[in-house]
Amino acid sequence: MIFVSTTSPEAAVAQDIEAYGLEMQWAPSIRAAVDLLNSTREKTVIVTQLALPDGNWRDLVEWIRCPEIPIPMVLVTSAITAELWWDALECGIDDILPEHLIASRLCQLLQENRLDERNE
């Protein structure tokens, strides 16, 4: 999993994610996230905050969306609005989460993804 944020995830979030058996890598920018994504062969979930130093979440979606290799993407924000939901859904974001739900929802999303792959 790649966590894209201007600051590294809080220790509690990282511990929760690791407790679910996930490996997390932090990318402080879109460019760093793309580099990490290019270096991994495993299924990856991208978690991002809305604003990044070299763009925003939409820019990140444009950089990494590939129809041949669907990568689940999640936005993390404390300000979830109806407008953001619609915008995110149109862009292909899989979910929008407040920070306290990151670990459990990501594990659920990964599990759903694994089941989808087995059914193909």
Contact, 10 vs 33, CB < 8 A? no
**Cβ pair 64, 46 in contact under 8 A:** yes
Q: Which residues of 43-69 are buried (b: 16+ CB within 10 A; e: fewer)?
A: ebbbbbbbebeeeebeebbeebeeeee
Residue 44 sits in which domain range?
2-119
**Total domain count, the chain:** 1
The amino acid that residue 63 corresponds to is W
- As a whole number of Å, the CA-based R_g of the chain is 13
CATH number at residue 39: 3.40.50.2300
- The one-digit pLDDT tens for each residue of the chain (120 residues) are 788 888 877 777 778 778 777 788 889 999 998 888 888 766 677 888 888 999 998 898 888 776 566 788 888 887 778 898 899 889 888 888 876 666 667 777 666 665 454 445
